[in-house]
Amino acid sequence: VSSMAPALLILLGATVILQTDSLPDENVVLLPPVNFTIKVIDLAQVLLCWEPNPDQEQRNVQLGYHVKINAPEEKDYETRNTESRRVTILHKGFSASVQTILWNNHSFPASSWVSAELEVPPGSPGTSIVNLTCTTNTVAYNYTHEKPYQVSLHCTWIAGKDAPEDTQYFLYYRYGFVTQECQEYSKDTQQRNIACQFPRTVIKSKGRDWLAVYVNGSSKEAAIKPFDQLFALHAIDQVNSPMNVTAEIDRTCLSIQWEKPLSAFPSHCFDYEVKIYNTRKGYFQTEKLKTNTFISIIDDISKYSVQVRAAVSSVCRPTGLWSEWSQPIYVGNDKQKPWTEWFLIVLMAATCFILLIVSLICRICHLWTKLFPPVPAPKSNIKDFFVSINNEKTGSSETEVEVISYAEEAGLETLEASVF
Ligand SMILES: *[C@@H]1O[C@H](CO)[C@@H](O)[C@H](O)[C@H]1NC(C)=O
Ligand SMILES: *[C@@H]1O[C@H](CO)[C@@H](O)[C@H](O)[C@H]1NC(C)=O
Ligand SMILES: *[C@@H]1O[C@H](CO)[C@@H](O)[C@H](O)[C@H]1NC(C)=O
Ligand SMILES: *[C@@H]1O[C@H](CO)[C@@H](O)[C@H](O)[C@H]1NC(C)=O
Ligand SMILES: *[C@@H]1O[C@H](CO)[C@@H](O)[C@H](O)[C@H]1NC(C)=O
Ligand SMILES: *[C@@H]1O[C@H](CO)[C@@H](O)[C@H](O)[C@H]1NC(C)=O
């Protein structure tokens, strides 16, 4: 390398001298490039190649090329190379043109155009898939591995309306230089593949390359038109929900905390949205945040449900989708009495009710009298009672038993009255 450096310097010096002392001759005419070809080099990727015209006078001039993509989407750019790689869909065909220009003088007349094109791939109309949608999701792979995160890919589509019943579709994706075929299809009622799941892919979580997805098919009855589509990762990435959401109420402070979602992006890359639902008043409060905590002042005795969602912020990549809301966390109370108090009240009511039933049954079946057979010669009215009390002075043991018996019956009646 070191021996090449002086050589390069000399060459550069030579070009500078050539350029400065020779403005393009008025007689120079630019000729179009030759052998312009478009080659499919990969899924949804082409290489445009051409050669400088062999008759083009190249002394004293710096040639460049103006490339114009005509289909599927118009685009034009300039280059000094004689080849150019393009990532593009191909199911609508592809066509491009190129002309020779003077690199350092754009007002100098350019050459005529040469064009080339790729045909629309063959297949019967209406047989290719429609409504292809794909989403990616970051999954934990292996924490001990140097790549702890992997990206999964899920795509769904609908069979073409004119696709024969025996049609079978096959999906491939390409990311960077790697192309993989789907291994896990879901089928429709006619056993045609209509969805695909890649639990793991070579897609880089933080990558900025296009994701190319290609679906072709086969059938005995018709040629199935292939379909391809390019996806920007930020637009289809289904971000995971924030983790470990916790909420607690301390007097009038509702404080909520969470952790960043499972993701290859670091903490500072996330925007959050917190949703607090007041179940008593029935209203939502939502807040956009960049932090991992949120404290809200509450003046209401109520039960709150708290949810958080995340999105990768524009600081780290173009704006994409919000994650799903996290599972709701409930805090606070919308009832004045805690459940233990309610439990005691219910328990007491149940006890009284059982006692009442028992006493009713006893009465109906005269169980009472059976269980406590009347003492000999029971007195039947209060008058007698007083009589017996008066007799007490006489000190007969018989009257003493009688008094106890009355007292018990009265006690039971008091209990019954308190139930109602
Ligand atoms: C153009 O292609 C033809 C045929 O492939 C070849 O003979 C010729 O050398 C090519 N011209 C240039 C300038 O490469
Ligand atoms: C660029 O080309 C135009 C047209 O030939 C010529 O008039 C002009 O002098 C050239 N400018 C330079 C800086 O070479
Ligand atoms: C497919 O997508 C088109 C356009 O987005 C929509 O109008 C159509 O309803 C979709 N078809 C089905 C079956 O979802
Ligand atoms: C995780 O990766 C390490 C290193 O590559 C490997 O030894 C280990 O078996 C992997 N564990 C799992 C659960 O895949
Ligand atoms: C579908 O495309 C893949 C990849 O280009 C190719 O290998 C396969 O043969 C194609 N299948 C059909 C049925 O065209
Ligand atoms: C979330 O909480 C669980 C258990 O509470 C813990 O094991 C885990 O490490 C926490 N997650 C993060 C990202 O800290």
| Token pair for 213 | 């997805």
Q: How far is the CA of 274 from the centre of ligand 6 (A)?
A: 20
**E strands, 11-59, where?**
34-42, 45-51
Local confidence band at 238 (pLDDT 50, 70, 90 cut-offs): very high
Local confidence band at 353 (pLDDT 50, 70, 90 cut-offs): confident
Q: How far apart are CA 73 and CA 84, in angstroms?
A: 16
Q: What is the pLDDT of residues 86-107, one digit of tens each?
A: 999 999 999 999 999 999 888 8
User: Residue 228: its pLDDT value, please?
Assistant: 96
- Residue 279 CB less than 6 A away from ligand 2: no
Q: How far apart are CA 126 and CA 211, in angstroms?
A: 25
Q: How far is the CA of 106 from the centre of ligand 2 (A)?
A: 8
Check pLDDT > 50 for residue 4: no
Question: Looking at the CA of 146, which ligand is closest?
Answer: 4
Which residues does 93 contact at the CB level (< 8 Å), separation at least 6? 71, 72, 117, 118, 119, 120, 121
Check pLDDT > 90 for residue 59: no
3-class secondary structure, 378: coil
Report the pLDDT averaged over residues 74-95: 96
User: Residue 222: its pLDDT value, please?
Assistant: 93
CA-CA-CA-CA torsion for 135, 140, 145, 146, nearest 10 degrees? 50
- Residue 267 CB less than 6 A away from ligand 2: no
Pick the CATH number of 243-332 from 3.40.50.2300, 2.60.40.10, 2.60.120.10, 3.40.50.720: 2.60.40.10
Domain limits of the chain?
34-118, 130-236, 243-332
Local confidence band at 332 (pLDDT 50, 70, 90 cut-offs): confident
Local confidence band at 277 (pLDDT 50, 70, 90 cut-offs): very high
Question: Looking at the CA of 148, which ligand is closest?
Answer: 4
User: Residue 345: its pLDDT value, please?
Assistant: 63
Task: Label residue 400 exposed, middle or buried (CB < 10 Å: 0-12, 13-18, 19+).
Answer: exposed
Q: Examine domains 34-118 and 243-332 and report if their fold is the same.
A: yes
Report the pLDDT averaged over residues 365-379: 56
Tell which wins on pLDDT, 197 or 344.
Answer: 197
Percentage of the residues of the chain whose pLDDT score is greater than 70: 75
- Residue 105 CB less than 6 A away from ligand 2: yes
Q: How far apart are CA 195 and CA 188, in angstroms?
A: 9
What atom of ligand 1 comes closest to residue 53's alpha carbon? Answer: 13
Report the pLDDT averaged over residues 77-88: 96
Could you give the C-alpha distances from 98 to 48, 76, 241, in angstroms and in order?
10, 10, 49
Local confidence band at 58 (pLDDT 50, 70, 90 cut-offs): confident
Whether CATH 3.40.309.10 fits 130-236: no
User: Residue 415: its pLDDT value, please?
Assistant: 43
**pLDDT, the chain, mean:** 82
Beta bridge partners of 407: none
Check pLDDT > 70 for residue 113: yes
Beta bridge partners of 254: 249, 296
Q: How far is the CA of 332 from the centre of ligand 6 (A)?
A: 23
Report the pLDDT averaged over residues 265-287: 93
Question: Looking at the CA of 243, which ligand is closest?
Answer: 6
The topology (CATH level 3) of 34-118 is Immunoglobulin-like (2.60.40)
pTM as predicted:
0.72
Question: Which of 92, 99, 79, 98 lies closest to 119, judged by CA?
Answer: 92
Tell which wins on pLDDT, 80 or 420.
Answer: 80
Q: How far is the CA of 105 from the centre of ligand 2 (A)?
A: 6
- Residue 142 CB less than 6 A away from ligand 1: no
Beta bridge partners of 312: 270
Percentage of the residues of the chain whose pLDDT score is greater than 90: 63
Q: What is the pLDDT of residues 125-182, one digit of tens each?
A: 999 999 999 999 999 877 666 778 899 999 999 999 999 999 999 999 999 999 999 9
